[in-house]
Amino acid sequence: MTPESHVPTGTDDPTLGPPPGCPAHGLGPGGRSRLYGPEAEDLGALYEKLRAEHGPVAPALIHNDVPIWAVLGHAENLHMVRTPSHFTRDSRVWTAVRDGTAGPDHPLAPHFVWQPICSMAEGDEHLRLRGAVTAAMATIDYRSIRRSINRSTQRIVNEFCEEGAADLVGQFAEHLPMAVMCEILGMPEEYDERLVQAARDMLKGTETAVASNAYIMDVLMRLTARRRAEPLDDVASHLITHSARLTDDEVSEHLRLVLIAAYEATANLIANVLRVVLTDPRFRAQLSGGQMTVPEAVEQSLWDEPPFSTILGYFAKQDTEFGGQYIRKGDGLILGIAPANVDPRVRPDLSVDMQGNRSHLAFGGGSHECPGQDIGRAIADTGVDALLMRLPDVQLACGEDELRWRSSIASRHLVELPVAFVPKPQQDVELQPGAHPTQPVREWTVTVPESAAAAPASAPAPASAPAPASVPAPRPVPPTVPDRPAQAPRADAGTVRRTGIRQRLLRWWRGY
CB count in 10 Å sphere of residue 75: 13
Give the pLDDT score at 12: 43
Give the pLDDT score at 200: 82
CB count in 10 Å sphere of residue 384: 25
Give the pLDDT score at 2: 36
20 half-sphere exposure, CB direction, 13 A CA radius: 0
Give the pLDDT score at 475: 43
Calculate the alpha carbon distances from 145 to 19, 239, 421 in Å.
59, 18, 28
Q: If DSSP states are collapsed to H, E and C, what string results for 37-73?
A: CHHHCCHHHHHHHHHHHHCCEEEEEEHHHEEEEEECC
Q: Pick the closest to residue 216 from 200, 197, 195 (CA basis).
A: 195
Give the pLDDT score at 164: 96
Q: Pick the closest to residue 448 from 391, 395, 392 (CA basis).
A: 395
The backbone torsions φ and ψ at residue 163, rounded to the nearest 5 degrees and listed phi first, read -85, -25
**Cβ neighbours of residue 198 closer than 8 Å, sequence gap 6 or more:** 212, 213, 215, 216
Alpha helices of 114-247 — where are they, by DSSP H? Answer: 123-138, 142-158, 176-185, 193-204, 209-229, 235-241
Taking only the tens of pLDDT, the chain with its 512 residues reads 333 333 333 444 444 444 433 434 457 888 899 999 888 889 999 999 999 999 999 999 999 999 999 999 999 999 999 999 999 999 999 999 999 999 888 888 878 889 889 999 999 999 999 999 999 999 999 899 999 999 999 999 999 999 999 999 999 999 999 999 999 999 999 999 999 988 888 766 566 777 888 899 999 999 999 999 999 999 999 999 999 999 999 999 999 999 988 998 999 999 999 998 898 776 666 656 666 678 888 898 999 999 999 999 899 999 999 999 999 999 999 999 999 999 999 999 998 888 788 999 999 999 999 888 999 999 999 999 999 999 999 999 999 999 999 888 888 889 999 999 999 999 988 755 444 443 444 444 444 434 334 444 444 444 444 444 444 444 444 444 344 444 444 444 344 344 556 565 555 555 55
* Adjacency order of strands within the sheet including 33-34: 33-34, 57-62, 66-71, 332-336, 310-316, 87-88
Calculate the alpha carbon distances from 113 to 60, 92, 184, 312, 389 in Å.
20, 8, 27, 10, 43
Residue 173 is classified by DSSP as I
Give the pLDDT score at 468: 42
Q: Which residues pair with 87 in a beta bridge?
A: 316
Task: Classify 341 as helix, strand or coil.
Answer: helix
Element (H, E) at 8: none
Task: Classify 422 as helix, strand or coil.
Answer: coil
Give the pLDDT score at 297: 84
Give the integer Cα–Cα distance in Å for 331 and 404.
35
Q: Pick the closest to residue 316 from 98, 91, 12, 110 (CA basis).
A: 91
Give the integer Cα–Cα distance in Å for 161 and 390.
9
Interior angle at CA 89, CA 86 and CA 91, nearest 5 = 110
Give the pLDDT score at 48: 97
Alpha helices of 362-509 — where are they, by DSSP H? Answer: 373-390, 501-509
Give the integer Cα–Cα distance in Å for 357 and 302.
10
**Concatenated DSSP letters of 290-309:** TSS-HHHHHHHHHHHS-S-S
Give the pLDDT score at 109: 84
**Cβ neighbours of residue 104 closer than 8 Å, sequence gap 6 or more:** 113
What is this structure's pTM? 0.77
Name all contacts of 497-505 with Cβ < 8 Å and 24+ positions apart: 497/437, 499/434, 503/434, 503/441
Give the pLDDT score at 236: 96
Residue 322 is classified by DSSP as E
Pairing outcome for strands 320-322 and 325-327 = antiparallel
Alpha helices of 245-352 — where are they, by DSSP H? Answer: 248-279, 281-288, 294-304, 337-341
- Do residues 181 and 262 lie in contact, with contact meaning Cβ atoms separated by under 8 Å? yes
